[in-house]
Amino acid sequence: MDAVAFAVPPDVQPALAVRAARAGKHLLLEKPVALTLAGADTVVAAIEEAQVASIVFFTWPFSREARGWLTDALARRGPAGDGWSGGVAIWLTPTLKTDNPFATPWRHEKGALWDLGPHMIATLSACLGPVTEVTALASNSDLVHLVQRHESGLMSSVITSHHAPQAASGLNLFVWGEAGRSVMPVERTELLDYKTALRTAVAELADGVAAGRLTHPYDVRFGREVTRVLAKAEAQL
């Protein structure tokens, strides 16, 4: 066995990922990497010490529907990172109000911030640069608002909840600037081809290993930075 793919709750993943890395296995990790920055740091350290490859499956960067848009958004960002002026991500679901199979214990405990937040933070970070500051506010209904400042100096906002009415559910993510408003084409997430996205992530992990590459744009180090933003936001709520 050369690699291990994880589909476990984020509080379970770090210890297992460390064990697999120390056994010399390459890793396809779930997001978030961990529920604490310390846990994410432990996974990063184990992967770097073992010199194994890793990818965190943030889904959208590997999906056919979003990849073309993301490639275009990154291209328009330009070498100086000044192609966009900001970004917005809103993702509302009724997941925790129903018998949805995703209404699992860890999601009830940590809410949409840790479940949906990683997708949006990762995508906005890819388009606008790493997040250096975050301000968070929340209501009693799991509705979370984040305002992010990126390393580029640009600002973005994130709004998410797992307790939204069904009629209000959906995803809208866009970046904006002189080129206009560029909307990621995944408003109905149930239409995403998740199986193909997973196959793409697996193939890129395998191809990287075969080529001797131990890094990837969405590797464990990128996953650790997303966890850092989430932990900073949670500490304010």
Mean pLDDT, the chain, rounded, equals: 93
Range of the domain at 222: 3-59+193-236
Give the end of a domain, one of 176, 191, 206: 191
Task: Band the pLDDT of 190: cuts 50, 70, 90.
Answer: low
What DSSP designation does 60 have? Answer: G
Whether residue 124 contacts residue 74, with contact meaning beta carbons closer than 8 Å, is answered with no
Predicted pLDDT of residue 81: 55
Q: Does pTM surpass 0.75?
A: yes
Do 71 and 90 lie in one domain? The reply is yes
Do 126 and 45 lie in one domain? The reply is no
The most distant pair of C-alpha atoms in the chain lies apart, rounded to whole Å, by: 49
Whether residue 46 contacts residue 74, with contact meaning beta carbons closer than 8 Å, is answered with no
Predicted pLDDT of residue 82: 63
Looking up residue 182, the CATH number of its domain turns out to be: 3.30.360.10
Give the total number of structural domains in the chain: 2
Do 21 and 35 lie in one domain? The reply is yes
Whether residue 197 contacts residue 64, with contact meaning beta carbons closer than 8 Å, is answered with yes
Q: Is 60 or 186 the better-scoring residue by pLDDT?
A: 60
Do 74 and 181 lie in one domain? The reply is yes
- Please tell me the least confidently modeled range out of 26-30, 132-136, 167-171: 167-171
Angstrom distances, CA of residue 97 to CA of 144, 148, 162, 165, 234:
16, 28, 8, 9, 22
Give the tokens for residue 196: 């193909």
